[in-house]
Amino acid sequence: MSTPPLLRIDALGIDLPVDGEPRTVVHRVDLGIPEGAAVALVGESGSGKSLTARSVLGLLPRGAHVHGEVLFAGESVPRMRPERLRTFRASEVAMVFQDPRAHINPARGIGDFLIEGLTTARGVPAAEASRKVTAILREVGIPDADRRMRQRPHELSGGLLQRVMIAAALAAEPRLLLADEPTTALDVTTQEEVMAIIGEARRARGLAMLFITHDLELAAAVCDRVPVMYAGTTVEELPADRLRGRASHPYTRALLASRPSVSDAGAELRSIPGRPLSGFEVPDGCAFSDRCPHVRDLCRNERPEPGGFVEDGTAACHFPHPLTSEETGSHA
């Protein structure tokens, strides 16, 4: 990458109090998002993907201790003063969450919610804010904007409300969109609509995106690069189009094999034994060692560092795929 990325996360670690004791919940996250690009952070529950997203906003829980660096256009987010953080969140990054209902005041109208962000945080006159919001609502597939703006959140379906949240995010004209499982609670046909809307809006604006998801296939379809997280560590990072077939970390490969396929009749479903660990539960060695089919002694004793095993990607694994010829036989 010749131009510096819009967002760079460098050896990020996060300690949080768990039952009163400081514990490491994120061990090591590395990723970069160039201006206008989309990166999907993929992981299961406890992987630390949402905490990583929150660290980008400087929105970590009280008592959190951050190591490493989160750089937005070269500026350190963990070192931002409270006042700078406020303007940063109001105008440079915007977030869309899994559950829009938890992030919108149920007692107030949709219009107030949308316009308020512009008038209070950015000083836009009310009439202009209203015009702008109406245009964005049309763009995200809400043609009858005037009627919708008079409605309250409970009158809208989940899919419509998520479009409202996307409109609110776009209205702030951010440079980076943070989308944390924005379609997980939606029907699959609605998910497609919402992802199409986000994609169109991003392309029209050159807007970069950090997309948090548990769905590898969705990640690969809508993003340029995919870092995969497991138990607080980015275990692999690679271009989205190389995910199928070129992933080299056993966790990434296992995750792909465990997803039911609607199209592939012959595909055998392979489950991963055990359960996903949280960052604070991991053993001394590799976080995935307890569940890995290729585990060896070294894996249990020494935590692997991210390395350049695949073309244009990295994997934090002592024995990344493809393995030696003797082992590929048993793997295939």
The pair phi, psi for residue 212, each rounded to 5°, is -100, 125
Number of shown-chain residues binding another protein (CB under 8 A): 47
User: Under the criterion CB under 8 A, does residue 283 sit at the interface with another protein?
Assistant: no
Among residues 75 and 187, whose Cβ is nearest to another protein? Answer: 187
Q: Mark 82-121 with x for binding to another protein (rule: CB under 8 A) and - for no binding.
A: ----------------------------------------
**Shortest distance, position 271 Cβ to another protein, whole Å:** 4
- CA 68-74-79 angle, 5° bins: 50
Q: State the Rg of the chain over Cα.
A: 21
**Shortest distance, position 142 Cβ to another protein, whole Å:** 6
Within 187-242, residue ranges assigned H as helices are 188-205, 216-222
Among residues 107 and 265, whose Cβ is nearest to another protein? Answer: 265
**Shortest distance, position 5 Cβ to another protein, whole Å:** 24
- Report d(CA 203, CA 218) in Å as an integer: 18
The pair phi, psi for residue 265, each rounded to 5°, is -65, -30
Classify residue 330 by its DSSP letter: H
Residues 6+ apart with CB under 8 A from 61: 16
Tokens at 215, concatenated: 């769905």
- Of 63-71, 100-108, 151-159, 293-301, the segment contacting another protein by CB under 8 A is 151-159
Residue pair 321/331 in contact (Cβ under 8 Å)? The answer is yes
Among 44, 69, 99, 327, binds another protein (CB under 8 A): 44
User: Under the criterion CB under 8 A, does residue 217 sit at the interface with another protein?
Assistant: yes
User: Under the criterion CB under 8 A, does residue 276 sit at the interface with another protein?
Assistant: yes
Residues 6+ apart with CB under 8 A from 24: 13, 14, 15, 232, 279, 280
Among residues 45 and 120, whose Cβ is nearest to another protein? Answer: 45
Among 2, 3, 263, 330, binds another protein (CB under 8 A): 263
- Report d(CA 29, CA 227) in Å as an integer: 9
Among residues 139 and 327, whose Cβ is nearest to another protein? Answer: 139
User: Under the criterion CB under 8 A, does residue 324 sit at the interface with another protein?
Assistant: no
User: Under the criterion CB under 8 A, does residue 150 sit at the interface with another protein?
Assistant: no
User: Under the criterion CB under 8 A, does residue 199 sit at the interface with another protein?
Assistant: yes
The pair phi, psi for residue 238, each rounded to 5°, is -155, 165
Q: Residue 87: helix, strand or coil by DSSP?
A: helix
- Report d(CA 168, CA 290) in Å as an integer: 43
- Report d(CA 219, CA 311) in Å as an integer: 19
Among residues 6 and 142, whose Cβ is nearest to another protein? Answer: 142
Among residues 84 and 147, whose Cβ is nearest to another protein? Answer: 147
Within 220-239, the residues that bind another protein by CB under 8 A are: 220-222
Classify residue 275 by its DSSP letter: -
Among residues 251 and 309, whose Cβ is nearest to another protein? Answer: 251
Contact residues: another protein, CB under 8 A: 44-45, 141-144, 157-160, 187-193, 195-197, 199-200, 214-218, 220-222, 244, 254-255, 258-263, 265, 269-273, 275-276
